Amino acid sequence: MPKKPHPSPNGSVRRRKAVRVAPSAAAPGRPAGMPDVQASADPRNVAIDRVGVKDITYPIRLRTREGGEQTTVAKVNMYVSLPHYQKGTHMSRFLEVLNDHTGEPLTPDKIPLLARAICARLNAEVAHFEASFTYFVKKAAPVTGQPGLMDYQVTFECTANGDEDFIMSVAAPATSLCPCSKEISRYGAHNQRCRVQAKVRFKGMMWIEDLVELLEEAASCPVFAVLKRPDEKWVTERAFENPKFVEDIVRDLSLGLSKDKRVTWFSINSENFESIHNHNAYAEITRAK
């Protein structure tokens, strides 16, 4: 069995030592006799954990939980480990791998294939692929049912090291209302938007929409793209009836993820953009199940 990568608390995989790999093959189309400087020897004896290309703007297709598809634009990062004896990596080969998969839906089961392809194409011991993008979900207003599109920030990342380590990250906006403010005030309570985020490792299939629902349920109230007056009344009263500190949000989210049998590890956080302070409130939890 291949040795599993060693995850750090933030979900990345740390490479402990360089393992010598065979020199890379000559690039297709390179004229005979043209030197391959990147493949030449390096005398400093220093291995590099990650080297590659960053912030590639690239169109992608995604499958939705309802069975449809949507297109969006991703920022893609692709890296490999570099052994101590090799001068440089071959940057163009990362884009060649990406272009080989153009048009294919980007799904959690496809990302490990991409990471393995990077390993093979660059003859590397470790490869890392990540794509960050905006994902849209149709969401109806709570009372009138007015349709709207909510945007969520998503990252798919995978490290291949003989085995694959895939992590999905989703961040959702929501509302938080302060329990202390409600308790001590004669009128109302201070409330604000918050940003709730979860990184998860999981078994089987977990849709982006599944994680969005868990994030929003943990807050005082979800936010919506379109609200008429009856909807605004509902949102205001819902938040007032469900006050939560930033600590409450991450604890409730932790319980929700712990109950989900698909999830094997999570790292979560919530940040409240305080309406009565000149600073934000923040909390995080990381757990392996």
What local confidence, expressed as pLDDT, does residue 67 receive? 94
Question: Tell me, what DSSP letter sits at residue 86?
Answer: B
Position 262 in a domain = yes
Q: What share of residues in the chain are helix, strand, coil (percent, to 5)?
A: 25, 40, 40
Q: Is residue 230 part of a domain?
A: yes
The CATH number of whichever domain residue 161 belongs to comes to 3.10.270.10
In a domain, 78, yes or no: yes
Q: What is the pTM of this model?
A: 0.85
219 in any annotated domain:
yes
Q: Can you give the pLDDT at residue 37? A: 86
Q: Which of 2-16, 29-43, 47-61, 207-221 has the lowest mean pLDDT?
A: 2-16
pLDDT value at residue 49: 97
Q: How many CA atoms lie within 13 A of 152 on its CB side?
A: 28
Domain assignment present for 257:
yes
More confident residue, 162 or 56: 56
Q: What is the mean pLDDT of the chain?
A: 91
Residue 1 lies in a domain: no
Q: How many domains does the chain have?
A: 1
For the stretch 95-140, pLDDT in tens is 999 999 988 899 998 999 999 999 999 999 999 999 999 999 999 9
pLDDT at 12 over 70: no
Instruction: Give me the domain span that covers residue 189.
Output: 47-288
In this structure, is residue 7 part of a structural domain? no
- Mean pLDDT for the stretch of residues 234-259: 98
User: Is the residue at 280 inside a domain?
Assistant: yes
